Structure formats: structure tokens, C-alpha cells
Amino acid sequence: MSVIEAIILGIIQGLTEFLPVSSSGHLELAKVILGDTSVPEESLTFTVVLHFATALSTLVIFRKEVAEIFKGLFQFKWNDELKFSLKIIISMIPAVIVGLLFEEELESFFGGKILLVGVMLLLTALLLLLADKAKNTNKEVSFSNSVIIGISQAIAMLPGISRSGATISTSVLLGIDRTRAARFSFLMVVPLIFGKIGKDILGGDLNFQSSEMIPISAGFIAAFVAGLLACKWMIALVKKSKLSYFSIYCAVVGAIAIGYALLS
């Protein structure tokens, strides 16, 4: 992989991690277009690094909220910060279970499964369309909501299903305030990404060749910067109920991907 290709993939990851169009799906499509011949394990390693970059950009955007959460936790009281943290932990459980029990199966879905990506993008388009028609409320995320949102996040581990799209759409369909839905969606994935990175490092799964460090670093920086911009943009779009535009986009890209897979 060249530095230019890594930067392109990094920008795609940074933008699509927060915009509801499936970052993993777009990365797989981009790899096919760029002629990436990586085996699934190598492809997944680069994807994990890019996700780590966007997790850091999430922490930067929500640094005040994260600081308040930690401050509240150290009060050792049953306060809003502790409740929010517990909801985040609960939302992680479905994805952790799926990731641990079906890790090899999930890895097999990466590495050029264009037909799968196309079908899942159509599903994402449907979710976004339904969510865009839902009425906005002032409801907060409840403990039971966090379980349902967590299940949607676990399903979104498939390439082509937007994680942010699935979790925000699920939240909105449950009647949760759009701003709170976006905040919860972006923060709930951060511990999972850091956990995945830690697990792979300890397990020796992230094996980088010295020749790969420059393109990987370039992709990481590109994903981080693009993520900062996309996160702010997405929060504003969710408030204005503009998800239908992304629904159309996902439907078009999904149809093109399916057509390409069937004709190639």
C-alpha cells in the first residue's frame, strides 16, 4: 500500500466513521477500487488502526463531556455521570460477546466481500429513512435503551452497516433526543476500539512490517483529522434531521456495489 492510498483510506475512514454511510463498507469498496490485495487479517489490521484514529478524534471533540464523566465517577455517588457510564458499559456487552465468540467469522467478512457490503448498505439506507421520519423528543437514553442500542452496534460490525447510522437510528426510533442519540452513539464505541487495540497488541495480532509504518502512520493522521471535521458536521446534521440524504447515498452506493459484484 502506498502513502497516497493510505491517506485516501484514512480520509474515507475519518469521514465515514461519523457520517452514517458505513466506514468499514467504504473501506472495503475503496480497497477493491485501489486494487488492494491484502489478505483479510492484514486488511483488518489497517482497519483497526484507522478506527483507533477516529476514536481519538471522538475524545477530542467530546473532551469536556469525558472530563465531566470522570470527575463525576470519582465522587463515588449514584449520579448522572455514573449512570451514563453504566449505560455505556451495558451497550458494549453485545458487541463484546459477538467479537469474542465470532472473531474469525467477522474477519472473513473483510477483504473484498462487495456483495455483502452492497446488501448491508441498502439495509443502512432503510434504517436512516425510518429514523429521519421519527419525531424528535427530549427523552434520554435509559438502561433498557442501552441494551437495544448495543445490539444494533453489534450487528453493525458487519461491513456495510453503518455503526453510527445503526445506533443513532435505533436511538431516534426509540424516541431518544437526537443530540443525546449522537453523543451516546459516538462515545459508546470508544471503549470498544481501545479494548480491541489492547487485545490485539497483547495477543500479538497486530504485526507491522517496517515498510508499512509510513503508510499506516499517514493513514492514521488522515483519519484523525477527517474524523474531527466529520464528527462536528454529523452532530449538526442529526439535529437538523438530515438523515434522508445519507439514506439516498447509501442506497445508490449499495446498488452500485451489488451490480459490480454480480457483473465482475
What is the distance, to the nearest Å, from the Cα of residue 55 to the centroid of all Cα atoms in its chain? 9
Predicted local distance difference test score (pLDDT) of residue 210: 66
- Is the Cβ–Cβ distance between 146 and 91 less than 8 Å? yes
Helices (H) and strands (E) in the chain, counts: 13, 0
Rounded CA-CA distance 22/166 in Å is: 9
Q: What is the Cα–Cα distance from 187 to 167, expressed in whole angstroms?
A: 11
Structural domains counted in the chain: 1
- Note the pLDDT of residue 39: 42
pLDDT of residue 141: 92
Distance CA 234, CA 240 (A): 10
- Give me the percent of the chain exceeding a pLDDT of 90: 28
Residues 152 and 21: their CA atoms lie apart, in Å, by: 15
Kindly report the average pLDDT of the chain as a whole number: 84
Which range, of 38-52, 80-94, 235-249, averages the lowest pLDDT?
A: 38-52
pLDDT tens figures, 111-161: 667 888 899 999 999 999 998 888 777 889 999 999 999 999 999 888 888
pLDDT value of position 117: 87
> Per residue in 190-224, pLDDT tens?
888 888 777 777 776 666 666 678 888 999 999 99
Rg (CA), the chain: 18
Give the model confidence (pLDDT) of 73-104 as tens digits.
Answer: 888 788 888 999 999 999 999 988 988 888 77
Looking at residue 117, its amino acid is V
Alpha helices in 74-212 (DSSP H): 80-101, 103-108, 114-132, 143-155, 163-173, 178-188, 190-203
Does residue 36 surpass a pLDDT of 70? no
Q: Tens of pLDDT along 158-185? A: 888 888 889 999 999 999 988 888 889 9
Which residues constitute the domain of residue 254?
3-263
